[in-house]
Amino acid sequence: MEKEEKWIKIAQNIEEINFENNIASIQINEKLICVIKTPVGLRACLSKCPHAGGDLSTGFLDAKGNIICPVHNYRFNLQNGRDTNGEGYFLKIFQMKENESGIFLKM
């Protein structure tokens, strides 16, 4: 069973989130996190690329909804965090939920 205190409210609604190229950068507990608007809903991941620390908040999305790091162009699946080349890099993904109380991210 999930503990309610692990969910952190990041906005009341999607209009409150400041997206640029479908990616917003937020800070929670000293962690920089990307919130990403994808064709299948909101996703969230750590901003720090697991390859060499690039800033994914300045990256971009491909047509499949993968996030592409601006430094070496590795792509990461926002469902499971895997790099799409299969090199074994994992991006930290955070669960999100939306309801009438707002948009929440699970830490």
Residues that bind ligand FES (CB under 6 A): 49, 51-54, 69, 71-72, 74
Alpha-helical runs (H) found in the chain: none
Q: How far is the CB of 52 from ligand FES (least distance, A)?
A: 4
Q: 102-106 and 7-11 as β-strands: parallel, antiparallel, unpaired?
A: antiparallel
- Looking at residue 18, its amino acid is N
CB 80 within 8 A of CB 72: no
We find the least distance from the C-beta atom of residue 48 to ligand FES, in angstroms, to be 9
26 or 83: CB nearest ligand FES: 83
Nearer to ligand FES, 13 or 73 (CB): 73
Contact (CB, 8 A) for 80 and 93: yes
Q: Tell me the two tokens of residue 55.
A: 């800033």
Q: Which is nearer to ligand FES, 43 or 75 (CB)?
A: 75
CB of 51 to ligand FES, least distance (A): 3
